[in-house]
Every structure is written in structure tokens, then in C-alpha cells.
């Protein structure tokens, strides 16, 4: 079982284990060794590194690069760039791997390390486990701490190559008024040029990162901010990214948030209309609303559910031949275009659909009837298997009996934080709240921090 890698790489508080310089240095060395052990078939081992706007991202990238260099790996630094930007560059420019220094939607004090293979896909769990084993072996052998003198030179050609691929002419898009929230994150370095080169008029907010304001009361973590601005500025559409811009959420002209479920419905219908929805299947997750499943079914589209985490959505897509999948949180995967969720790409696709239809987003998803849903987070001291905790299982089973098919219960651990997440959907809001509180209480009593 992996100890460091979660559903989205290694994550923690910057400067503390496992994101102290010594461990980061070992991560780079272990990754470099693994590349030489068979992840790369032939030729020079080259790794591209990108980062978000946190003040810790620079020294973490430096420490990682030192470990990679010790293992004989050549390194290119793309500077501040989105997570999907690194995945794209790793694939098209034939790097052995791509690494992103980012903690996505987490606060500025946190950071993380995400690794992509040379094919642009996130590493499978078994590869991450092998890298972990090598990492722990290096630490046990007295792996040294990274020095302080090394500093990565930014290759200024990297970001423009990604921007050029993203930018597309959107006929009719100039008629739309957009408000774009960059979350003071990686999108701040790219979004303005991408939208301008696509012929779109946009007003940008939260696009002045200072190292500590990433995700702070802004972006996809706080979509009501762009929703209020969209309504106040009488715009047609609000768009908000998370810190590394692999997620995107929207807001309509009335200031209502449009989540990833609604985006999946919008894109699925458009792709099916154009004959591009392979197997007429969409892959969502266990957290996606029952209303999405019903609306897709009425449109002749099958919905499958994967476990939470965009890498698991993609695995299911590849297994069943689907080309569209995503999460309620705003990870949308368009596998014919990209190997991971890309917030900028998704935003352009949504704008293109609205421009072509000549209708507001609210009218295109008006029939999506969302079942009442509550998600509650409980901080835990450790992640014991929930199935082995009798009071928690009793509360879950009681909820399932009472709902009797008219709702869903999903209880799981976060893959990136010390949290248990309790999600309940039900036709009855009273039952939903009652059972959510009961399960939360059982978890808190058994595992609460």
C-alpha cells in the first residue's frame, strides 16, 4: 500500500515531511533511478518540471531537480504553468516524465509533487509504489539533503508552446462577455493570452498571485465569488479555475454556480449531436449526482461511475472506450484532446458550445434536476479501513435501509488530506441531513483528530 502518493501525488505542508528538502531530494533521485530501470525504453532521460504560484514551489522544484540530476537526468524548467500544461509538454516534446510542483486547491502553506509519464498520463499506482520503495531505501541509506545553491533556469519557450496548442478561434465567441477567476494560481500566467488569442473578451479577477494568496477566497474552491461577479457585471458566463488549473467551474448570468456534473451533461449532448461521443458513454464518479445519470439516460447516454480521482476516471474511460469523463468538482477529461483534466481546454470548449448554440448555459442544462446532496468532511487522526469500524458501518447501513433506493450513501477518505468525506443524496432533505450527521458523529467518535 502506498504511504506517500495519494490520489493526486504527494501532498503536505511545505517544509515538513514528506515535503522537507531531504525527502524531496530523494523523490527526485528515486524517480530518476526508476526512469533508468525501464520507464524509458531508450535515449536520454529528460524531465520537464513546472510549478504553481506558491512561495514554496521554487525551492521544492530546485530540491527535486538536484535529486534528478544526481540520477543522471536532464531537466527543463517550464516555470509557472498549469498541471495539464506539463502533461501536454511531456507528451508532445518527448520528455521521459513531467513533474508538477503544486497542491492544487489546497492553501498556500501546502504543496505537492505530481508525476506524469512521458505519455502524459499520471503514473499508475503500482509505479508510484515502486518509486516509494526506492525513495525509502535512499532515505534509509542516508540520502543527503539538497543543497541551497542550485536554481533552475526557466525555459521561456515552454509556456508559449502550450498556449499555442490551446488557443483556437471561436466563431461568435466575441459576443459573449466573460468573467474569469484565475485563483491567483497557475492560470494567471496563461489565461489572458489564451482567451485573447481565441478571440474572446474577458475580465480577469484574482490574477495577481503573491505566493500566499493562491485559492484564498477565490477560484474553483469558492465559485460563489465568480458567480457574484458574473451577475454584478452582467456577464454571460463566469469561469473559475483552481490553483493548478486542472479543474474549472462556471457560473451563469443569474449568478448560479454550474458544477462539473452540469458541464459533463452539456458536453456529452454536444459531442453526441456531432457524432463524437464514442460508445455513447460518460464516466463520472461515485460523488456525481443522481440527477446527472437520469438526464444523460434521457439523452441516450450511459453513465458509468469510477472511484473519486481523475486518474481513476481516466482508467475507466480507457477501459470502456469513453472519450468524456469527469468529476463534480470540475475535473473534465476530453481524452481525444488531452491526457488529463485541463481547465483552460474545458473552458474554451464550453464557450464554443454556447457561441454555437446562441443560448445561455442555463437554458442548455435546464432539465438537470439535482437531487438534494450534502457532503460533510471530518478531520481524522488516521485512515483505518472504514469497513472495520463497527459504529461507522452501523450508521451507514441504517442510512441505506432508511433511504431504500431513493438515495445514495458514499463514505470515503480524501486521497490528499486527512479527511473522511460523507456524501448523502436523498429525495428527502430531512433524511439526508439526519443520516449525514449520524455518520459524521460515528466517524468523529472513532477517528476524530
pLDDT tens for residues 12-63? 999 999 999 999 999 999 999 999 765 554 567 999 999 999 999 999 999 9
Residue among 107, 113, 5, 4 nearest 57 (CA): 113
pLDDT band at residue 428 under the 50/70/90 scheme: confident
Question: What pTM does this model have?
Answer: 0.88
Per the domain annotation, does 234 fall within a domain? Answer: yes
**Mean pLDDT of the region 132-149:** 79
- Over residues 155-214, the pLDDT tens digits come to 999 999 999 999 989 999 999 999 999 999 999 999 999 999 999 999 999 999 999 999
d(CA 364, CA 359): 7
**Does residue 60 sit in the same domain as residue 111?**
yes
Residue at which a domain ends, from 257, 273, 292 = 257
Per the domain annotation, does 366 fall within a domain? Answer: no
Per the domain annotation, does 357 fall within a domain? Answer: no
pLDDT band at residue 279 under the 50/70/90 scheme: very high
d(CA 219, CA 211): 15
Residue at which a domain ends, from 121, 154, 187 = 154
CATH of the domain at 395: 3.30.310.50
The pLDDT value recorded for residue 39 is 53
Per the domain annotation, does 439 fall within a domain? Answer: yes
Does residue 299 have an active-site annotation?
no
Residue among 182, 252, 192 nearest 222 (CA): 182
> How many structural domains are present in the chain?
4
Helix intervals (H) in 281-359: 290-298, 310-320, 343-357
CATH of the domain at 178: 3.40.120.10
Say which of 56, 96, 104, 288 is annotated catalytic. 104
The pLDDT value recorded for residue 7 is 78
**Does residue 27 sit in the same domain as residue 143?**
yes
**Does residue 107 sit in the same domain as residue 222?**
no
- Over residues 310-346, the pLDDT tens digits come to 989 999 999 999 999 999 999 999 999 999 999 999 9
Residue at which a domain ends, from 314, 348, 382 = 348
Domain boundaries, position 310: 259-348
Per the domain annotation, does 66 fall within a domain? Answer: yes
**Does residue 47 sit in the same domain as residue 136?**
yes
Amino acid at each position: 500500500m502506498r504511504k506517500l502518493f495519494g490520489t493526486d501525488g504527494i501532498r503536505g505542508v511545505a517544509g515538513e515531511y514528506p515535503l522537507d528538502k531531504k525527502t524531496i531530494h530523494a523523490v527526485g533521485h528515486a524517480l530518476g533511478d526508476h526512469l533508468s530501470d525501464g520507464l524509458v525504453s531508450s535515449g536520454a532521460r529528460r524531465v520537464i518540471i513546472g510549478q504553481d504560484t506558491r512561495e514554496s514551489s521554487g525551492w521544492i522544484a530546485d530540491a527535486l531537480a538536484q535529486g534528478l540530476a544526481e540520477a543522471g537526468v536532464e531537466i527543463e524548467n517550464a516555470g509557472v504553468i498549469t498541471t495539464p500544461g506539463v502533461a501536454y509538454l511531456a507528451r508532445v516534446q518527448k520528455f521521459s516524465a513531467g513533474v508538477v510542483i503544486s497542491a492544487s486547491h489546497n492553501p498556500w502553506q501546502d504543496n505537492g509533487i505530481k508525476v506524469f509519464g512521458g505519455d502524459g498520463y499520471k503514473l499508475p499506482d503500482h509505479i508510484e509504489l515502486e518509486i516509494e520503495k526506492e525513495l525509502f531505501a535512499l532515505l534509509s541509506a542516508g540520502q543527503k539533503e539538497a543543497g541551497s545553491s542550485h536554481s533552475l533556469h526557466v525555459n521561456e519557450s515552454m509556456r508559449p508552446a502550450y498556449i499555442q496548442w490551446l488557443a483556437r478561434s471561436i466563431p461568435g465567441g466575441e459576443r459573449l462577455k466573460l468573467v474569469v477567476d484565475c485563483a491567483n494560481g497557475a492560470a494567471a500566467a496563461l489565461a489572458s493570452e489564451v482567451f485573447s488569442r481565441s478571440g474572446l473578451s474577458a475580465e480577469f479577477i484574482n490574477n495577481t498571485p503573491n505566493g500566499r494568496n493562491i485559492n484564498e477566497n477565490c477560484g474553483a474552491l469558492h465559485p460563489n465569488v465568480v458567480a457574484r461577479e458574473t451577475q454584478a457585471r452582467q456577464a454571460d458566463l463566469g469561469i473559475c479555475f483552481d490553483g493548478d488549473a486542472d479543474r474549472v467551474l462556471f457560473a451563469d448570468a443569474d449568478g448560479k454556480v454550474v458544477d462539473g456534473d452540469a458541464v459533463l451533461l452539456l458536453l456529452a449532448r454536444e459531442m453526441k449531436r456531432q457524432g463524437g461521443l464514442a460508445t455513447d458513454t460518460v464516466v463520472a464518479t461515485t460523488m456525481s449526482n443522481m440527477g446527472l445519470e437520469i438526464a444523460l439516460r434521457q439523452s441516450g447516454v450511459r453513465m458509468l461511475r469510477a472511484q473519486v480521482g481523475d486518474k481513476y476516471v481516466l482508467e475507466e474511460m480507457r477501459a470502456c472506450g469513453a472519450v468524456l469523463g469527469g468529476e463534480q468538482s470540475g475535473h473534465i477529461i476530453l481524452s481525444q484532446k488531452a491526457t488529463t483534466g485541463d481547465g483552460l481546454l474545458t473552458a474554451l470548449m464550453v464557450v464554443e458550445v454556447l457561441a454555437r448554440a446562441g443560448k445561455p448555459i442555463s437554458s442548455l442544462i435546464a432539465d438537470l434536476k439535482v437531487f438534494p446532496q450534502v457532503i460533510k468532511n471530518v478531520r481524522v487522526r488516521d485512515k483505518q479501513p472504514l469497513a472495520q469500524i463497527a459504529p461507522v458501518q452501523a450508521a451507514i447501513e441504517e442510512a441505506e435501509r432508511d433511504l431504500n433506493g431513493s438515495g445514495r450513501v458514499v463514505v470515503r477518505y480524501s486521497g490528499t488530506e486527512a479527511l473522511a468525506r460523507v456524501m448523502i443524496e436523498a429525495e428527502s432533505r430531512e433524511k439526508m441531513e439526519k443520516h449525514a450527521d449520524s455518520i459524521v458523529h460515528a466517524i468523529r467518535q472513532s477517528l476524530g483528530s
